[in-house]
Structure 1
Amino acid sequence: MKLVKSLLLGSAAGIAAVAGAQAADLPSRKAAPVEYVRVCSAYGAGFFYIPGTDTCLRVGGRVRAEYTVGTRYGSGQDAYGTRSRGRLNVDARTATAYGTLRTFFRYELTVSSGFYGGTTNGNQGVIAPGTGRNTGATTASNLDLAFVQFGPITAGRAQSFFDFYANDFGFSTLRTADSRLNLLAYTATFGSGFSATISLEDRNTGTGVRENGAFGRFTGTGLVLGGQDFPDVVASLRVDQGWGSAQLSGALTQRKVLSTFNAAGVLTQGSADEYGFAIQGGVKINLPMLAAGDHLFLQAAYADGALGYLGWGGQIGPGRLASATTANQLLIGDIGVSVLGNTKSSTGWSIVAGLRHFWTPQLRSELYGSYSEIKLGYLAPAGFYAPGAAIRPLDPKEFIVAGNLIWSPVSGLDIGVEVLYTRTELASRVLAVNNAGNRIVGVGIKNDDAWAGRLRIQRDF
């Protein structure tokens, strides 16, 4: 029996050896290598290597649903509105011998109705009651950002290097500098969080109403904008450290005024270059002693001939002006009237404050506001003032304050409500406007209070 078992096992081993030898002589086909997507941890969460390259990519975005209701001067100015927005972010980065090469773009599509028809100040849109109730729906597309960063160079459409508190809090915007525009900038870093930037910026491409826009008229004397010979020059000095951040920035802008004549054909203004400027200082203070993630913004700015750097890109206050009228365009101009060759620029200043506090890791509140004053230096045209009103520059003063409560039940999801209050005071009584944005003859107002409320549901990914 043992002999039979040994013979059987020996035969099986021999057959296996012969079969293995024959198989080794046959041609074989290897499977093509599979290239898996690899996680890239060099630039934070969400990045992965583009297969076959050393470039890290992150694709993200946002979907926002928003609903608002508000009251403006006169019952005809009350309205509601809705808004839906979709955003796509694409961020690609590559490590090079010269530093990180980064390309980034953000594209948005927005559908708005009602109260949102009167929003100003660009992408985020401040609810500015009084621009006329728009009951129709509008669809807008916006290339919000598109830039290349290579070492110290930033080129393309990016956040202005003048900006500091760029409406970081809340559902609405304040009177503050916040613009994405075409620029070319160089940033030098000095260590310990210090950096300095010099930037050439095209304000004509900004997200807000450009501040070098229309110019007014006064007793037949006109100011005609003749363009610019160079873009605005912006410089900033910034520090980012564990306690927070601080920045000091300044801007210089040119305005070319062409020769104009009055109705009698007499020369009232020769060609000349006018210059405006703005300065701004801000600080962001982290407050971990209150709660993780808490911080406070404080900022102040002054502008002479460049009111857009204060956020004055739209109408003067709620309940007064039609957004498309010559009168409205006059009031947002930076350079005032010219009388016998003397040009006077508009000046203004603003202060901004904002606080974010986490009640729990999922529940937070934001309280923010701004106060600003501007001196226009010139008068509104005939037919603008209320009957019996003193004819003087309007020189508006504006106060905005808002607060919200936001719940984030899961990461990336915000559900919040907000209340916004705005008060504007003018130096003289002007005609009110109706819900179509037309001035009402005989009805004059000098100050106005406006309220707005919002509900927002937003998912970032």
Structure 2
Amino acid sequence: MKLVKSLVLGSAAAFVMTAGAQAADLPGAEPVDYVKVCDIKGSTGFFYIPGTETCLQIGGFARLETTYGEVTNDDDANKVGYRVRARVWFDARTDTEYGALRTFIRLQFQRETGAVGTAGSANPQFEGDDFFYDQAFVQFAGLTAGVTDSFWDFKPYPTFQNPFISDRTVPVLAYTAKFGDASASLSLEDKTYRYRDSTNATPNAGTEAPDIVANIRVKQGWGEAQISGVASYINPKKGYADQVGGIATGVGGDNEWGWGVQGGVKLNLPTANTSDAKGDFIWGQAGYVDGAGLSYVGLGDANVGSGRTQNITAFNPQRDYYLDGDTQKTKAFNANLGALHYWSPQWRSALQGTYVDVNYRKLNADWSAWSVAGNLIWTPVKKLDIGAELVYVNTDYSNRASFPANASRKDDDAFIGRLRVQRDF
């Protein structure tokens, strides 16, 4: 037995010595930081993807919204609506000799109250950003290519609901040149994401040219400002009996260019009631379009409720142009003014007023509307918001003879209440 034990111990010792000699031939392993923080100016939450030089940020939120209101004569219409929305985004950036190479993807999933008599729906809206993903773009050396915010839009908006403000994600091919704190952008944008009528049909015969959008923007310590413009090519169907609000308005029309211009400013205000980079501000915007599309002044998807309730565009005509032998371009103007104030690090509120005026020129169909929205938001812990908002909408259809469908509205005004619970990460 002693002989066997000696042989076993001797064999084990020889194996260890041999393994040690082989290990000595291997290069020494360096300690590895599998999660290493990226230092990106103005941003937090980035880390290196292991084995690469690419920095990645992951974020998102989960949100519940429910609204109550009554704006139509239909007693069977939804007066209460629910919408649950989830977002997850991935922001990847790599330094190159040309500057940062960025890829951004934002996924979005949604369940909401369905139309009257139907089950809840996760159905996407063609012109909106309500399903699966609403942003996916690449940025490199001033180039932006993909689906992102329109270069026409000017954010941020202080309230939950903004019924007469453009807020669209669209496919774009754009270039931005920076000059210190200022920038200038030129963007070719997909017009089919904007040009819809009240039945969600495309009024244009075909897209012959993208919308041409340009802006000049400046951002400094005092705030930011932007001037943007758009040119849009109109290609009406020859011999097509155009309709507005169910009324035929004629046939024929020439190709035309529509246009629009918008200006906005945000002023940061001093505050001692917030512990992070956020703070009080005043925000204002005004825009005008002549045939460029009513969505540029926030019409076409102006739902002031959640879950397919209180859609104010269901009782006003949405037409970017109409035909009466000539192409008659619709004119529209909007203006908005809002403010956000932190009462304490846990409490903030916002107030915003908005106005829109639509002119169909020769057609007896002009209308205008205005709204006021106010909210109060409680943040008991960081990145958890529990808030309530009340919206009042007033419409003026004094020239509504051409649109009997507008009789479906409940009154010339309405109140809509909204409750939101949102957790960001």
TM over 0.5: yes
Q: Kindly state the Cα deviation for residue 449 of structure 1 after the two structures are TM-superposed.
A: 1.1
Q: Does 1:456 align with 2:420?
A: yes
Contact 2:73 2:409 in 1 (8 A): no
Query: Gaps (5+ residues) in structure 2?
Result: 1-12, 124-130, 242-249
Partner AA of 1:37 in structure 2: V
Query: Gaps (5+ residues) in structure 1?
Result: 1-18, 118-132, 216-223, 263-267, 380-392, 434-438
Q: Counterpart in 1 of 2:133?
A: 143
Q: Does 1:395 align with 2:366?
A: yes
Q: Counterpart in 2 of 1:186?
A: 175
Q: Does 1:280 align with 2:262?
A: yes
Q: Counterpart in 1 of 2:153?
A: 163
Q: Does 1:415 align with 2:398?
A: no
Corresponding pairs, count: 382
Q: 1:212 to 1:250 in 2, by over 3 A?
A: farther
Q: How far apart are the structure 2 equivalents of 1:212 and 1:97?
A: 49
Q: Counterpart in 2 of 1:51?
A: 50
Q: 1:270 to 1:348 in 2, by over 3 A?
A: closer
Q: Deviations over 1:203-252 (max 9, x none)?
A: 2135x95799758xxxxxxxx73223210001101110100001111000
Q: Deviations over 1:372-397 (max 9, x none)?
A: 11012354xxxxxxxxxxxxx22111
Q: 1:202 to 1:287 in 2, by over 3 A?
A: same
Q: 1:337 to 1:319 in 2, by over 3 A?
A: farther
Which of 133, 139, 142 is matched with 1:152 structurally?
142
Q: Counterpart in 1 of 2:244?
A: none
What's the secondary structure of 2:163's corresponding residue? coil
Q: 1:417 to 1:229 in 2, by over 3 A?
A: same
Q: How far apart are the structure 1 equivalents of 2:39 and 2:122?
A: 38
Q: Does 1:307 align with 2:307?
A: no
Instruction: State the Cα RMSD in Å.
Output: 3.4
Contact 1:211 1:334 in 2 (8 A): no
Q: Counterpart in 1 of 2:245?
A: none
Q: How far apart are the structure 1 equivalents of 2:311 and 2:174?
A: 39
Q: Counterpart in 1 of 2:60?
A: 61
Bigger radius of gyration among the two? 1
Q: What is the TM-score of this pair, normalised by structure 1?
A: 0.75
Q: Kindly state the Cα deviation for residue 275 of structure 1 after the two structures are TM-superposed.
A: 1.3
Q: How far apart are the structure 1 equivalents of 2:261 and 2:51?
A: 47
Q: 1:315 to 1:366 in 2, by over 3 A?
A: closer
Q: How far apart are the structure 1 equivalents of 2:353 and 2:183?
A: 28
What's the secondary structure of 1:284's corresponding residue? strand
Contact 2:301 2:313 in 1 (8 A): no
Q: Kindly state the Cα deviation for residue 73 of structure 1 after the two structures are TM-superposed.
A: 3.9
What's the secondary structure of 1:258's corresponding residue? coil
Q: How far apart are the structure 1 equivalents of 2:303 and 2:88?
A: 33
Q: How far apart are the structure 1 equivalents of 2:402 and 2:302?
A: 14
Q: How far apart are the structure 2 equivalents of 1:314 and 1:378?
A: 25
Contact 1:212 1:333 in 2 (8 A): no
What's the secondary structure of 1:37's corresponding residue? coil
Q: 1:288 to 1:23 in 2, by over 3 A?
A: same
Q: 1:225 to 1:68 in 2, by over 3 A?
A: closer
Q: 1:73 to 1:448 in 2, by over 3 A?
A: farther
Q: Counterpart in 2 of 1:353?
A: 337
Q: 1:225 to 1:444 in 2, by over 3 A?
A: closer
Q: 1:214 to 1:109 in 2, by over 3 A?
A: closer
Q: Kindly state the Cα deviation for residue 51 of structure 1 after the two structures are TM-superposed.
A: 0.7
What's the secondary structure of 2:151's corresponding residue? coil
Q: Counterpart in 2 of 1:37?
A: 35
What's the secondary structure of 2:206's corresponding residue? coil
Identity of aligned residues (%): 40
Q: How far apart are the structure 2 equivalents of 1:322 and 1:356?
A: 27
Q: Counterpart in 2 of 1:176?
A: 165
Q: How far apart are the structure 2 equivalents of 1:45 and 1:316?
A: 34
What's the secondary structure of 2:121's corresponding residue? strand
Q: How far apart are the structure 2 equivalents of 1:196 and 1:101?
A: 19
Q: How far apart are the structure 1 equivalents of 2:261 and 2:88?
A: 33
Q: 1:42 to 1:23 in 2, by over 3 A?
A: same
Q: How far apart are the structure 1 equivalents of 2:183 and 2:300?
A: 29
Q: Deviations over 1:232-273 (max 9, x none)?
A: 0011011101000011110000011232177xxxxx855631
What's the secondary structure of 1:257's corresponding residue? coil
Q: Kindly state the Cα deviation for residue 454 of structure 1 after the two structures are TM-superposed.
A: 1.3
Q: Counterpart in 1 of 2:236?
A: 257
What's the secondary structure of 2:295's corresponding residue? helix
Contact 1:320 1:432 in 2 (8 A): no
Q: How far apart are the structure 2 equivalents of 1:188 and 1:309?
A: 24
- Which of the two has greater strand per residue? 1
Partner AA of 1:375 in structure 2: N
Q: Counterpart in 2 of 1:241?
A: 220
Partner AA of 2:296 in structure 1: Y
Q: Does 1:203 align with 2:203?
A: no
Contact 1:429 1:445 in 2 (8 A): no
Q: 1:444 to 1:453 in 2, by over 3 A?
A: closer
Q: Kindly state the Cα deviation for residue 165 of structure 1 after the two structures are TM-superposed.
A: 3.2
Q: What is the TM-score of this pair, normalised by structure 2?
A: 0.80
